[in-house]
Each structure stands twice: as structure tokens, then as C-alpha cells.
Amino acid sequence: MGTGNLITRKHYQKQILRLLENENAAFIIGVRHSGKSCAAACVEEQIMKRAAENAAVLEKSLERAKWECFCADDLIKWFEERYSPGKRNLVFLDEPIHLPDWERAAEHIVSHPDVKLVITASNRRALSERFSMYREGRYDVVEMLPLSFEEFIGFHGNRETTAPGVPVQSKRYVGADGGAHTARDLLAGYMTKSALPIHWNNGFLDLDPLSSADGMYSSIVLHDILEVNSSAGLSSITDQNLLGCIITVLAKAMGRNVSATWVGKQTPLYLDRPSSTKTVESYMRALLSSHLFYMAERYDIKAGQKLKTLAKFYIVDMGIYRLIAGEQPDDGGRALENRVYFELLRRGYEVFNGKYGEEEVKFMAADGHDRVYIQTADAFRERDRRLLLSPLRKIKDNHPKVIIVNDTETRTTTDGILILNSLEFFMGAGLGRQRSTVY
């Protein structure tokens, strides 16, 4: 397999480089295959180009620590043999959570002067209270999400052929295969294909897309759930059949509010036994820790508070979704909702599923004191308009209200609700108000 168009994810590299300027521990987290190790390697290379005489870069992968019988004392010895007094020592540890008692080795490493520790991990358990720098708040986190739409376009080897400044609806591209594509064509692919930056050859997977998704899914389950759970000395995730069942239930329920109790009631459809709510809760926490799913808690907009019951779960990759759930009748709307959720996270929002009375607002996205209310829809049909507009019109504050739709032009209602074409949104359009027009 060639190196192809492996993307370097420059946005995240810039974040990591900025974090290297302080003394905090840095955590680079995200789902497996999101490009964490590649970003770290690119940062290491830039550091050595800029300050080779004043910096020492130490990097160690601990993915296979358990199988290689590598322990915390071995990691301490490895560090001592490479530590350079008088230099800025940048220590990159990849997947240390696979090393039992890794926190003890990390404590030893950061006790030395002029050490900056960077940890890359595919499981949130790396954010461990047993590590003093995390416990005391002396840490920074960069969370790597799936590819944005613009990253996806470049990653697949597409090159724009239209002049700068052309409206996004008119943009044209030539693909790695020489074929011509519109921006809308590419967005249709973004809605269904994987957006994880694994190795591609000339813009196309060497493997069938479902085979690739199967490989990614299997590695997440094996390495980032089952193995991590074992390395941490935990016994809560032991039933692989139940784990697969819960993943299937959550994938097929994407876009609807669920609870652990409800998920437990669905498991007899796939297994010949019921599952307790407590057991299901522990498995769902493991899925969130592995970044296979992300959760949007429910928020009562009228009461101004988060709710403890029900939440939505969004799967990190649409390629994996299609592997698990197959074709669903409403995939167009569900895929759009899923992609919008991750784009909002990418833009720095904390994202909730909103409710106003008995009506739903798909997302309430908050950034400090600012917020925006968002609905999504595959089509802006007459019969759907009341359902989409009604809850937004009942919210009386002055924060922006937006409906992101696949099949309509961008415009604004007479009362200030922005109807935003999905292509423009994924190409970077903001969520503020635009000039009002009547429709």
C-alpha cells in the first residue's frame, strides 16, 4: 500500500505545538485511526528542525507493552537511559494505558527538570486521577475528531478546478481518478464514507470500504475496550457478545434519545438473555471512553438546565455505522445530524440535545455565554416545516436559531431564523443571522 494522501491534520499540529510551550502534561486523545500518532510524529519532526541542539525528543509506543512483558520499571529505565540534562526533553508516550501502573512511570518522568510529557491515547482512561498532573489540573487536552469536510476533500485526492471566490454551490473538483465532481457530489460521499484518515492509495482504499470499516471497528473493540479494560485490572467488560449487541442497538438508535434501561430492554432481540441496567451502563461508559460513540446530554431550554435522563449517542464514523446498522430508511437525515454534531464539536461548542416543552431542538450548542439553537433535516418539505420551526419560534432569547438542510438554498425567515444549506455549513459558513428574505 502506498503512502497515498495521508493527511497531516495541520490544525491539530498547531494546537499541539502551542501546548509544548508550557509545563503542563499534554494529552492527545481521539478514536483510533484519527491521526494522533501521525500528528505527534510531524510535531517531533518540526521540533528537531527548529531546535535540534536544545531539544531531545524521546518517543515510545506502549501498544504492545502487555504482550512484550514491558512494565513500568522498564519504562523508567528506558527514560533514564535517554534523558538529556540541560536540554528540553520532550517525551512522547503512545498508548501508555496498555501498560499496567503506567502512572507511576509517568510520575518518575515528570519529576525530572526540563521535561514535557505528551501522551497520545485512544481511550479516555488515559485521563487518570492516579497521575498527579491530571489530578491537580496541570494538563491540556487536544481531542482529535474525524476529518472535517474540507479535510475529507483533500484526503481523497480531490483538487479544486474553479477560481477562488466561486460560491460553494458552483465549486468543481477533479478527483484522483481523473473524474469531475461537484462539491455536492463530494458531500454525498462525506455523508456515507469513513472520515477517519487511514492510509489510502491514490485517493481510494485498497480494501473494500466495508472491509476497511470492519478492520477499524474490530481494532477499536479489541485494543481500546477489551484490552484496555484488562490492562487496567477491571472486570466489568467481559462479554464480547453483549458489547457487540449494545453497539448495534446504539448505532440503530442514532438520532433518538435513549437510556441504559431502554438499551437493556433491546438486548433480548440479539441475545437469549436480559441485561441489567447497571451492566449496560458500564458497557456504555466503555464505548464513550473508546470514542466509538459520543454523547449529547439532554437540555431543557425552557427551564435552563441539563436533564439527567435520556441522551443521544452519535457514532464517530459513518463507515462503521453502515457496517453495523446497514441501510436505514432515514439515513439521509441521520447522517446529516451525525455530521453536524461532530462539526459543532470541531468548532469548539459543547453540544446538547435540546427540548422546549414537549418539542425537540436537535442541538443547543454552547460556547461560554454564547449559544445557538439548531435543527437539521434532509429535506425542508412543507409538512416538516412546522415541526422544525415551532420550537425555535417559542425560544424568546436573542441567540441565533438555525435549520441546516440538505435540499434547499440558504435564506432567512422574516422572524430571523436562518435556513442554511448543508453544503455551505460544512464548507465553513457561520451560524449567525443573514439578511432576511421571505420564502
Domain containing 61 — which CATH number?
3.40.50.300
> What is the tens place of the pLDDT at every residue in 206-246?
446 677 788 899 999 998 999 888 766 665 788 999 999 99
**What is the extent of the structural domain holding 180?**
149-206
**Angle, helices 36-51/10-19, rounded to nearest 10 degrees:** 60
Give every CB contact of residue 73 below 8 A, 6+ residues apart in sequence: 105
Instruction: Please report which helix (H) or strand (E) contains residue 49, including its range.
Output: helix 36-51
Answer whether residue 439 is part of any domain. Answer: no
Edge-to-edge strands, sheet with 159-160: 159-160, 172-174, 180-182
| Contacts for 13-16: CB closer than 8 Å, 24+ residues apart | 13/39, 13/42, 13/43, 13/46, 15/142, 16/40, 16/43, 16/118, 16/142
Contact 28, 46 (CB under 8 A): no
DSSP letter at 37? H
Closest CA to 365 of 381, 376, 379: 376
Q: How many CB atoms lie within 10 A of CB 179?
A: 10
Answer whether residue 434 is part of any domain. Answer: no
Are 55 and 174 found together in one domain? no
Answer whether residue 437 is part of any domain. Answer: no
Number of domains in the chain: 3
Contact 27, 126 (CB under 8 A): yes
Q: How many CB atoms lie within 10 A of CB 383?
A: 7
Contact 346, 148 (CB under 8 A): yes
Closest CA to 26 of 113, 112, 158, 144: 144
Mean residue pLDDT across the chain: 90
14 has a pLDDT exceeding 50: yes
Contact 32, 224 (CB under 8 A): yes
Q: Which of 144, 163, 183 is the last residue of a domain?
A: 144
Which of 18-27, 190-199, 271-280 is the least confident region? Answer: 190-199
What's the pLDDT at 384?
86
166 has a pLDDT exceeding 90: yes
Query: pLDDT above 70 covers what percent of the chain?
Result: 93
Are 356 and 373 found together in one domain? yes
Are 106 and 129 found together in one domain? yes
Are 158 and 264 found together in one domain? no
DSSP letter at 204? B
What's the pLDDT at 358?
94
85 has a pLDDT exceeding 90: yes
